[in-house]
Amino acid sequence: MDFNYTAEQDALRDSVKRFVEREYDWEKRFAIIRSAQGVAPDHWSAFAELGWLGAGLAEDAGGFGGSAVENALIAEELGRGLVTEPFAAHVLATQLLSAIGTDEALALLTELVMAEKRIAPALQEPNGRGDWRIVETHANPPESPPRLTGTKSLVDCAIYADSFMVSARNGKDTNLYLVNANETGVNLHPYRTLDNRHVCDIHLNNAPAQLLATGKHADQAIALAVDHAIVTLCGEALGIMDTALWTTRDYLKVRKQFGTAIGNFQILQHRMADMMIEVEMTRSALFHALGAMDGNDAARAAAVSAAKVQASTGGLFVGQQAIQLHGGIGVTEELNISHHYRRLFVIARQLGDADLHLARFAQATDRVKKADAD
C-alpha cells in the first residue's frame, strides 16, 4: 500500500498551510472568535478562489476531481491553525447534494463550490445526542405541500446560511428537504460551543420546504455524506493533535525546574511518548478510513466509525496531557493549548461520540462478516 500523497495533494496541503500561517496567527484568530459571526468575512470566498470548496468532489459533480483524501488534507491543515470556518459542514452539504444527484441538486452544488450560496446541513436533533439517524422532525401528510415541524440542533454556519438541508420523517421514511432561512415558521436560537464556534438550534413550525430526496435514496445519501464529514473531522482532529504534541514538546525543552529543562525528566518523556502513539494511531485509523470510502457501505461505516473512536479518545488524551504538561498556564485563555483541547472536546462529540461509534462499528463489522460468509 502506498501512503504517499501525490504532487497535486502536496501542493494543496502547502496552499492551506500558507493561508493559515498568513491569515490565522494568534492575534488574528482572537479577533475572529470575538467577532459577531465568529468567522472572517472574506475567508470563505478565498477558500472558493483557491479551489478548496470543490477539491473533494468529482468533476461530474462540479468539483475538481478529488476525493475524501483532499478534504481530510485541507481539514488537517485548518486544524493546525484552529480555523473557525465550518469546513466539515460544507463537506457534509456538498456530499449530500452530490449523492442526491438530481439536476436541481447539482445546480445548488455549483453555487456552494463557488461560494455564491451557503447551505447548512441540519441532521442532528436534541434527543439524538449526535446520532443523525434519530429523526423526530416530521413533514405533513404526503398529499399536502411539504411543511416541516421539529427542532434541529448544533447546526453549524446556520446564522449566515441562505437555506438549510433538513432530514424529516414522512410516515416511515426519512426524506431530505431544503428550507429557506427566511421562510415563516423558521426560528433560530444561536449560541457558542465550547470551542467558540457559532451554531444554532433551528425550530421549525409548519415551515414550507422543498423535497430533495425520499426514502432509501435519502438514507443512502445521508449515510455517505455523514461518513465524508466524519473523515473530515478526523483529519481536523489529527492536525490539532499533532500541533498540540509538538507545541508541548517545545515547551518542555524551555521550561526549567530544579535547574534543568523538565523535558529531561523521564516520566514526562513517557507521557510525550504516549501522546505520540495516540497521534500516530489516529493517523493510521484515518488512512484506513480513507481507503474504505470507495468500498461497500458496511466496510466504509466500520472503518469510519473506528477512525472516529480513535480521533475522539486519542484527541481527548492528547489535549488533556498537553494541558497537564503545561501546568496552570495551560488552562488560560491566552495560551493556544487550551483552545486545542476545546476543539478536540467538541470534535469528540460531533456527529456521534465514542460510544455511538463503537456500537456502529460493531454493527457494521457484523454485516461485513455476514456478507463474507454468504
Pick 104 or 333 by higher pLDDT.
104
| Residue 147 bridge partners (DSSP) | 208
Mean pLDDT of the chain: 93
Q: Are strands 173-180 and 163-170 parallel, antiparallel or unpaired?
A: antiparallel
- Mean per-residue pLDDT, 66-70: 94
Q: How far apart are CA 95 and CA 227, in angstroms?
A: 10
Q: How far apart are CA 53 and CA 63, in angstroms?
A: 8
H helices, E strands: number in the chain: 11, 10
Residue 214 sits at the vertex; the CA angle it makes with 299 and 302, to the nearest 5 degrees, is 10
What CATH architecture is 218-373?
Answer: Up-down Bundle (1.20)
Residue 141 pLDDT: 74
Look at residue 37 and tell me whether its pLDDT is greater than 80.
Answer: yes
Look at residue 117 and tell me whether its pLDDT is greater than 90.
Answer: yes
Q: pLDDT by residue (tens digit) across 88-111?
A: 999 999 999 999 999 999 999 999
What is the CATH code for 119-213? 2.40.110.10
Residue 104 pLDDT: 93
With bands split at pLDDT 50, 70 and 90, how would you rate the model's confidence at 58?
confident
With bands split at pLDDT 50, 70 and 90, how would you rate the model's confidence at 372?
confident
Task: Report CA torsion sign: 213, 309, 44, 196.
Answer: positive
Q: Closest Cα partner for 308 from 249, 255, 233?
A: 233
- Mean per-residue pLDDT, 29-37: 89
Please state the pTM of the whole predicted model: 0.95
Q: pLDDT by residue (tens digit) across 206-265?
A: 999 999 999 999 999 999 999 999 999 999 999 999 999 999 999 998 887 888 887 778
Q: How far apart are CA 294 and CA 285, in angstroms?
A: 16
Q: pLDDT by residue (tens digit) across 293-318?
A: 998 999 999 999 999 999 999 999 99
Look at residue 142 and tell me whether its pLDDT is greater than 70.
Answer: no
Residue 374 pLDDT: 72
What is the CATH code for 7-113? 1.10.540.10
Residue 220 pLDDT: 96
Residue 143 pLDDT: 61
Residue 370 pLDDT: 85
Domain boundaries, the chain: 7-113, 119-213, 218-373
Look at residue 334 and tell me whether its pLDDT is greater than 90.
Answer: no
- Mean per-residue pLDDT, 78-88: 95
- Mean per-residue pLDDT, 165-186: 94
Pick 157 or 285 by higher pLDDT.
285
C-alpha cell at 249: 514538546
C-alpha cell at 228: 465524508
